[in-house]
Structure 1
């Protein structure tokens, strides 16, 4: 990484400067450009949150199975994760403001494809286009914040991106759920269309460079990282469906009897390592890499990425666990889910915005350790107080406490990365952020799902074996080796198709209800353990002094 004049060894600018004098007051800019960037983050997050709400409508409209309709969700995430690093380099070549306007316009086109799609293929194509656009918007947001804001304004701007994600989740469930119930799924995407138009109009308030035409995109690295992300995402997302180790009945193929899911994960890891080896070699030869790994050269910067991965994975796990339990087990609606998750999402929204006020009084290390301590305590609390009713005060308190820690951490670790890198590498930071968050979200959701189903199967099977009212013939008839999260009514319906007596059905439902709750509590305990272990990377985050303000964006450059 280029040497930053007047900085400490951690890449943080000393406010007193080399001569000991006070640094001149930083320029303050209008927040109008940031409104456009905030809405761009809302646009992407709202689109993601609206897709699950729209699945039922797409299934009915297009006459396809839910698994086919859910492809819209899968392809969006895959395209974003696979192309985000390439998108960052393309932005550096073309110029961030110009390419930002182009991809926002393409996002508007994707919304039109969703609104007027005659077949499921058009809807899937619309999300491919939206994902490709988001792959450039994600790093563009970081680069444009670095270009337009400094110091405290920059920290506030970065924090707003985290709060925008939570705000989008709330609004998508409430607005999308209402529209989907009263009108249909298509009008939901009029909102994304309107957002895209507003962002495009506000983009003319942004300032940015004209790009560097001499930059060449490393196609080999682009293919390596794209393929690695696709394989990792597909592998983790299908651990539960295809089998964690051995191939299950739903696996498309097997590798010597093994499930293809872990094989894909292993192949993704190998390609990821090949990407890093290729990129380091290219940097040694003095060529422009797909992503400048110097933004991860310091232990503090790597610690920030590790911490970001952990907190996003935990957030994804909670966002998977709670809605799954409410909608699948309790049989309630997405609107009920949004109400149950409202305390958590509102807390994340508020905390991500306000946490920047603590940056001048407390170091990132102190805030991170406190936040991970809070998430650990919250998850432990939830493990002991969670019940079949999510509206209880103890459960709400636990979700709020977890939301405070999560909101603080997402903003904090992102700020550490942006602060540590010079302005010209802000796009690389954005691409690393996008890759980390997308991969962590997939891993958190998939691993939590596989963990819960595996534990439920073991616990339910063991309890059924020990229950005298459930004979071996009935267990084989129902297929208790493949237990999943189901509602009591669905389980009763399944047993009623067998030779089970009413007493045996009642016993099975009672066992399932008890073991579901035990499994949920074990899941929260596992997450609490992961949260506690995250103190290790958190302890490596920078320990700025209160009188130091991270602002390398204003620094000059030097030799390596």
Structure 2
């Protein structure tokens, strides 16, 4: 009898458990994803309430991903040592505390601190979800449960943009985080239905590896996040220091790569000596698993970039409400949710490689299309169509690559898969948000500088008063207010506002084209994904 037939026979006689524990795990994924999706919706509120630029407000997004990515591998080992259920309950309570910080934060620093706490909590929740599913479910139930995490993430995006946009418009951004507080309470209550485990006190945490990977991720994220403020190559005035005239941002990126390589070298050495590593790298032994990780990084990076760029443009530049933002993003988020839920129906007919290549083709075509059709009016059919097609490709990919990873390794490595998934997704999210912000501001600065030269009605002395050639994202109304306090004539104000409007739309279009190029490059790792269908999957427990 083949492995596939044996597993099918075994699954038929396995005990089927209640789905109530899975509801709690589903809501835990919703909790984390809702929090992340609510941050872009709240950017306009952060800017208005705290008086900070959008790039500073977006630090809340970056630090969340930074904390998760830096701590998730250590969090996985803590879960194995203390016990997944116990530590799961502890960090859910901590996540509730982060929601309270967001609700009552008096400054952007408090909001950033709230997201650091949320990220540190999520660093343990992420591997917990995979490990607890493996502990509580078997066979077809386990496959369904794993797939639900992808749909939960997409569902959170839809609900966060709709509910968050409505609350942000009618009440303010703070009540949005009452939702995450309520979710945390519900998850904590449902956690008592999970199958308990005692943990393994013999598990040792590799402190050296924890430090190496943590430093690597912090350096990478800080470097990418400050490329614009500190300088891409030469150090700018805002840089905290310089290295022989070089900006510290690219230096941190290079050092982050070096520390990352040191982490892998140290971990492989520890595994060869028979000691317990921080993460078992055998889950990445085969090219298919490595390809899944590369593809996952690109997928999440693209999603983070779009979820940062569009709300920033709509709320800050166009001056529209969070509810308008939720409506504009709804076609994308709703399509991601539906596709992530339904894509499993195609697994029996098409191989992961085929689905991935087709999906990356869709995202590439959609981004190129948006670069040419997007206008200041988001309700146009061409724009909505582009977001829908992009959402179809994105939703299929989010669920697909995670399933490739989970089905490729034995059950006892579920926590390691969860930690690698968390590191990849959150590092990609932080890098995608940071790089997109840096790229858009750089393109904007260059475009405005050239546009000013083409407008003789904007003399150098006026430009010097408002520093038009070194701008951040500024709305038309805000720019008019600034110019009215200068020597500018009404004609000059109108010309400056026209420059502001045209260059920001041009910048957004260029941003879409850059993302399209990244999506096209993703065909390389996608071509290395498995070419077999689920019935042909080798049994990882038998290897």
- Give matches, 1:313-324, under 5 Å: 313-324=301-312
Residue 394 and residue 187 in structure 1: after superposition, are their counterparts in 2 closer, same or farther (change >3 A)?
A: closer
Query: Hey, what does 1:307 align to over in structure 2?
Result: 295
Asked if 1:268 is matched to 2:248, the reply is: no
- Give matches, 1:382-461, under 5 Å: 382-461=370-449
Query: Hey, what does 1:335 align to over in structure 2?
Result: 323
Of 352, 357, 363 in structure 1, the residue corresponding to residue 351 of structure 2 is: 363
Residue 501 and residue 129 in structure 1: after superposition, are their counterparts in 2 closer, same or farther (change >3 A)?
A: closer
Q: Tell whether the 8 Å contact from 1:239 to 1:450 is kept in structure 2 after alignment.
A: yes
Residue 517 and residue 538 in structure 1: after superposition, are their counterparts in 2 closer, same or farther (change >3 A)?
A: same
Cα distance in 2 for partners of 1:114, 1:328 equals 21
Q: Tell whether the 8 Å contact from 1:78 to 1:230 is kept in structure 2 after alignment.
A: yes
The Cα shift of 1:65 comes to 5.4
Query: Hey, what does 2:508 align to over in structure 1?
Result: 520
Q: Tell whether the 8 Å contact from 1:245 to 1:258 is kept in structure 2 after alignment.
A: yes
Q: C-alpha root-mean-square deviation of aligned residues, in Å? A: 2.9
Q: Tell whether the 8 Å contact from 2:65 to 2:429 is kept in structure 1 after alignment.
A: no
Query: Hey, what does 2:281 align to over in structure 1?
Result: 293
Query: Hey, what does 1:107 align to over in structure 2?
Result: 95
Query: Hey, what does 2:27 align to over in structure 1?
Result: 39
What's the secondary structure of 2:4's corresponding residue? coil
Query: Hey, what does 1:490 align to over in structure 2?
Result: 478
With normalisation by structure 2, the TM-score equals 0.91
What's the secondary structure of 2:202's corresponding residue? coil
Q: Tell whether the 8 Å contact from 1:151 to 1:549 is kept in structure 2 after alignment.
A: no
The Cα shift of 1:507 comes to 3.1
The Cα shift of 1:286 comes to 0.8
- Give matches, 1:60-99, under 5 Å: 73-99=61-87
The Cα shift of 1:41 comes to 0.8
- Give matches, 1:1-40, under 5 Å: 14-16=3-5, 25=12, 27=14, 28-40=16-28
What's the secondary structure of 2:234's corresponding residue? coil
Cα distance in 2 for partners of 1:148, 1:296 equals 25
Query: Hey, what does 1:164 align to over in structure 2?
Result: 152
The Cα shift of 1:457 comes to 2.4
Could you say which structure has the higher helix fraction? 2
Q: Tell whether the 8 Å contact from 2:40 to 2:312 is kept in structure 1 after alignment.
A: no
Residue 275 and residue 204 in structure 1: after superposition, are their counterparts in 2 closer, same or farther (change >3 A)?
A: same
The Cα shift of 1:525 comes to 1.4
The Cα shift of 1:494 comes to 3.8
Cα distance in 2 for partners of 1:446, 1:110 equals 22
Residue 400 and residue 265 in structure 1: after superposition, are their counterparts in 2 closer, same or farther (change >3 A)?
A: same
Query: Hey, what does 2:194 align to over in structure 1?
Result: 206
What's the secondary structure of 2:536's corresponding residue? coil
Q: Tell whether the 8 Å contact from 1:303 to 1:538 is kept in structure 2 after alignment.
A: yes
The Cα shift of 1:17 comes to 5.0
Q: Deviations over 1:164-186 (max 9, x none)?
A: 22322333343344445555555
Residue 373 and residue 145 in structure 1: after superposition, are their counterparts in 2 closer, same or farther (change >3 A)?
A: same
Moved more, 451-460 or 289-298: 451-460
With normalisation by structure 1, the TM-score equals 0.88
Of 507, 525, 539 in structure 2, the residue corresponding to residue 537 of structure 1 is: 525
Residue 102 and residue 476 in structure 1: after superposition, are their counterparts in 2 closer, same or farther (change >3 A)?
A: closer
Query: Hey, what does 1:244 align to over in structure 2?
Result: 232
What's the secondary structure of 1:518's corresponding residue? helix
Moved more, 542-551 or 215-224: 542-551
Which runs of no fewer than 5 residues in structure 1 stay unpaired? 1-5, 7-12
Cα distance in 2 for partners of 1:508, 1:120 equals 30
Q: Deviations over 1:474-521 (max 9, x none)?
A: 444543431333223333344444444433333333334333222222
Cα distance in 2 for partners of 1:60, 1:443 equals 25
The Cα shift of 1:147 comes to 2.4
Cα distance in 2 for partners of 1:403, 1:541 equals 21
Asked if 1:326 is matched to 2:314, the reply is: yes
Q: Deviations over 1:246-300 (max 9, x none)?
A: 2223222322322222222122111111111111111111110001111111100
The Cα shift of 1:317 comes to 1.0
Which runs of no fewer than 5 residues in structure 2 stay unpaired? none
Q: Tell whether the 8 Å contact from 1:306 to 1:537 is kept in structure 2 after alignment.
A: yes
Q: Deviations over 1:424-469 (max 9, x none)?
A: 1111111111111111111111222222222222233233323443
Residue 300 and residue 188 in structure 1: after superposition, are their counterparts in 2 closer, same or farther (change >3 A)?
A: same
Residue 531 and residue 187 in structure 1: after superposition, are their counterparts in 2 closer, same or farther (change >3 A)?
A: closer
